[in-house]
């Protein structure tokens, strides 16, 4: 299961993402290309049954256009 903001590949089943897994530890880094298209973000939020009101600020940031970009998260336990 991947977040709504991850850009889907053309097959519609996978996303442009990568995870770094360490034996005995698990995932320590997860990254992906982000979806920048406003209409696609709205559609994904609806498809996943999320409340659009909770993400108004995220959508507002992309309302007037966005460049392609990526991001990652790093975590240790």
Q: What is the pTM of this model?
A: 0.78
Ordered per-residue pLDDT tens for the chain, 77 residues = 689 999 999 998 999 999 999 999 999 999 999 999 999 999 999 999 999 999 999 999 999 888 899 999 998 76
What was the pLDDT predicted at 66?
86
Return the closest-CA partner of residue 33 out of 8, 55, 62. Answer: 8
- Residues ≥6 apart with Cβ < 8 Å to 74: 28, 29
């Amino acid at each position: 299961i991947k977040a709504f903001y991850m850009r889907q590949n053309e097959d519609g089943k996978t996303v442009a993402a990568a995870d770094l897994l360490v034996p005995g530890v698990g995932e320590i880094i997860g990254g992906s290309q982000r979806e920048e298209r406003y209409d696609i973000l709205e559609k994904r939020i609806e498809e996943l049954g999320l409340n659009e009101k909770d993400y108004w600020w995220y959508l507002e940031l992309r309302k007037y256009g966005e460049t392609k970009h990526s991001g990652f998260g790093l975590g240790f336990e």
